[in-house]
Amino acid sequence: MEFRQAVEKDINDIMCIIRQAQNYFKKHGIDQWQNNYPTIETIQKDIQNKNGYVLVEDNKIIGTVALFLTGDKNYDVIYSGKWITNETYATIHRIAIDSNYKGQGRSNFILKQMEKKCLQNGIHSIKVDTHRENEAMKKWLLKNGFQYCGVIYLEDQSERIAFEKQIKLK
């Protein structure tokens, strides 16, 4: 498996995986990633800003994620809890795995690669948010050492539950 920065030619494969995730959410009644989000423009911006990454196996893109090493203004205020740290942090957004590869540890591999990138940049904390009803994501986060921290609100005032993980050199 190869974890690498996404490039423009990856967009169609990334959007295919995003559509699979959107359909999964819709089928399970989760109001996340609906209304045409994330858009092709969102993914293009991730790539242009060097925040977009893909997981490649056997020359096929099977996973996608956006990793921001600069924090997120939506995380400035947290309700009904508090962040574990107040130090510099990275954020994970738009993580998705091809439906044919779910449940096989690919997202864990992506997380380990993101943790390495964070440590290489002197960052020891990762924050992430998800929809309250996204049970699969919540389970994955807790299984991988993230701790529930509270509630944040996105720019459109959508509520999200927030998690943080401190990462250390191994």
pLDDT band at 139, cuts 50/70/90?
A: very high
Q: Count how many Cα atoms sit within 13 Å of the Cα of residue 163 in the half-sphere of its side chain.
A: 20
**13 burial class (0-12, 13-18, 19+ CB within 10 angstroms)?**
middle
- Superfamily of domain 2-166 in CATH is Gcn5-related N-acetyltransferase (GNAT) (3.40.630.30)
Where are the chain's structural domains? 2-166
0.85 exceeded by the pTM? Answer: yes
pLDDT band at 35, cuts 50/70/90?
A: confident
Residue 170 has pLDDT above 80, yes or no: no
Of 27-31, 42-46, 141-145, the least confident:
27-31
